[in-house]
Amino acid sequence: MKKSFLEKLTGGVLGQDKEEPRVSAEPETKDSQRGWKGADAEGQLTIDVFQTPSDIVIKSTIAGVKPDELDIAITNDMVTVRGRRDKDENISHDDYFYQECYWGPFSRSVILPVDVEADKAMASLKNGVLTIKLPKAAKLKTKKISVIHEDKE
């Protein structure tokens, strides 16, 4: 029997898969995804970093964290955000269908693309989104100077 173009291309006939796909009510997880690396592990924030003409702006979703539970440290070239997201109820591991949210301590350090004025930085939290605005440091201007000839003969 002559093979169709599709059979030549794919090596089989459509609808005649050799193996049926497995369907499971439980999500597939790798061992590394079953927990969050133990109770002592620290989660890492996801962030967006962008610039405006005058600022470097960092945004991160941190829903469920109160502003007084955040620690933000800023230097001229780095920002570190630390905090903790605590569960407000105890639910047995066996009672979960999905457990994807991270609960516990988290942090993130970012090396900034330009120097900033750390003492003028501002942070705000609105609708679960942390926004940090860091004014860019003034660029150093190069000044040319003339050389005075001091040879006295």
pLDDT in tens, 61-113: 998 888 888 999 998 789 999 999 888 788 888 998 998 888 889 999 999 99
Instruction: Give whole-number Cα distances, 29 to 24, 46, 93, in Å.
Output: 12, 21, 15
CATH says 41-86+96-137 is which class? mainly beta
User: Which is more confident, 118 or 4?
Assistant: 118
> Cα–Cα–Cα angle for 126, 108, 37, nearest 5°?
110
pLDDT of residue 15: 57
Q: Which of 1-5, 45-49, 106-110, 115-119 has the lowest mean pLDDT?
A: 1-5
pLDDT at position 75, please? Answer: 85
Residues 6+ apart with CB under 8 A from 111: 77, 78
Instruction: List the chain domain ranges.
Output: 41-86+96-137
Helix (H, G, I), strand (E, B) or coil at 124: strand
